[in-house]
């Protein structure tokens, strides 16, 4: 197969992912990067001096296993599993389109994944973190509102930065969230978080640098972003991750703290307080209950520690 033929197939696959699968741009980039890496390996495997075109119909499970073995040298199992998932998705698309008579990935199993327990903060550490951003500056007021919303609603950081003012229903104390695959869910939001948002909203004109303050006129609009940077643009996930980590270090939290740790803390603290696992699943927007069940292991570990310390015969 020529490079131009492969490009044509990948372009069609790209359209399929965007239009039919409705994947995010981040997911799309990962899928395409993985597919191109796979074909680059096939055309020039280690030890081969020059690249040689590969006919796509000659790709079989042996070549796929060779690629996975190559990846094992430098990649974690989670990364290898994602790349294999991308390749499987591409070949399933080709099979559906009639470009291949068979799926070479059909009997290729994914590597068994490690299952690390979710990182979460204690309730005391969580409260310290919530109070860490200073309220004597507009940026600090914004950051405190971000912490309150993350912990109150258990949002993914991508969901947080994607919030618009029209997604908030303060009278009902709920927020409309667009999760993975653009799926929408309604999540309760606490009064503390709503108060922090009100305080932040009043500070927005002071947050924006003077030359960009014309954008502040859009703050009241339903489609305007909730969380802004100093230029008046939507805050990025990377920026949120950076100041969450900075605040955690500043208030002496030794645990590596990311926005996702606040989501894990939300779920763990609810479970500790007796919340139903299926209710937590709905709040987090998990498609499968098995994903939510990881938090029961966290709970069990804590119970075992208490038992070991307290029981006379432990």
Measured in whole angstroms, the distance separating CA 2 from the mean position of its chain's CA atoms is 36
In whole angstroms, what is the distance from residue 143 CA to residue 124 CA? 19
Q: What three-state secondary structure class fits 176?
A: strand
The question of whether 286 is a catalytic residue gets the answer yes
Active-site hit among 12, 77, 260, 294 = 260
The question of whether 263 is a catalytic residue gets the answer yes
Burial-class residue 77 by CB neighbours within 10 Å (0-12, 13-18, 19+). middle
269 closest CA partner among 113, 129, 109: 129
Two structure tokens written together for 83: 């790349």
The question of whether 192 is a catalytic residue gets the answer no
The question of whether 309 is a catalytic residue gets the answer no
The question of whether 295 is a catalytic residue gets the answer yes
Long-range contacts of 185-190 (CB under 8 A, 24+ apart): 185/282, 185/285, 187/153, 187/154, 187/155, 187/283, 188/152, 188/153, 188/283, 189/149, 189/152, 189/153, 190/148, 190/152
Q: What three-state secondary structure class fits 76?
A: coil
Active-site hit among 178, 180, 213, 234 = 180
The question of whether 128 is a catalytic residue gets the answer no
In whole angstroms, what is the distance from residue 233 CA to residue 128 CA? 29
Active-site hit among 142, 156, 264, 269 = 156
In whole angstroms, what is the distance from residue 2 CA to residue 6 CA? 6
Give the residue ranges of DSSP H helices in the chain: 3-15, 25-43, 61-71, 77-96, 123-130, 138-153, 157-161, 191-207, 237-250, 259-272, 277-284, 289-292, 294-310
Q: Which residue has the tokens 């859009």?
A: 218
Active site residues: 156, 180, 260, 263, 286, 295
């Amino acid at each position: 197969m020529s490079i131009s033929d492969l490009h044509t197939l990948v372009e069609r696959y790209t359209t399929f992912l965007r239009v039919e699968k409705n994947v995010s741009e981040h997911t799309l980039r990962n899928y395409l990067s993985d597919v191109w890496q796979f074909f680059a390996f096939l055309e020039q495997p280690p030890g081969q001096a020059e690249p040689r075109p590969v006919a796509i119909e000659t790709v079989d499970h042996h070549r796929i296993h060779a690629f996975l073995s190559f990846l094992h040298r430098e990649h974690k199992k989670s990364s290898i599993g994602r790349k294999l998932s991308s390749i499987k998705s591409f070949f399933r698309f080709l099979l559906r389109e009639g470009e291949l008579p068979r799926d070479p990935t059909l009997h290729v199993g994914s590597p068994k994944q490690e299952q690390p327990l979710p990182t979460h903060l204690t309730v005391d550490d969580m409260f310290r973190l919530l109070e860490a951003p200073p309220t004597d500056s507009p940026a600090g007021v914004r950051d405190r509102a971000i912490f309150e919303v993350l912990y109150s609603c258990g949002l993914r950081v991508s969901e947080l930065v994607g919030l618009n003012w029209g997604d908030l229903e303060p009278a009902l104390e709920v927020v409309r969230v667009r999760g993975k695959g653009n799926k929408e869910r309604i999540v309760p939001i606490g009064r503390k978080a709503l108060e922090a948002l009100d305080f932040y909203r009043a500070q927005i004109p002071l947050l924006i640098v003077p030359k960009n303050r014309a954008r502040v006129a859009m703050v009241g609009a339903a489609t305007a972003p909730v969380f802004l940077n100093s230029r008046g643009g939507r805050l990025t996930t990377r920026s949120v991750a950076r100041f969450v980590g900075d605040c955690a270090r500043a208030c002496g939290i030794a645990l590596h703290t990311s926005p996702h740790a606040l989501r894990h803390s939300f779920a763990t603290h609810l479970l500790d307080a007796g919340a139903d696992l299926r209710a937590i699943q709905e709040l987090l927007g998990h498609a499968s209950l098995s994903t939510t069940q990881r938090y029961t292991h966290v709970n069990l570990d804590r119970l075992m520690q208490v038992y070991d310390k307290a029981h006379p015969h432990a």
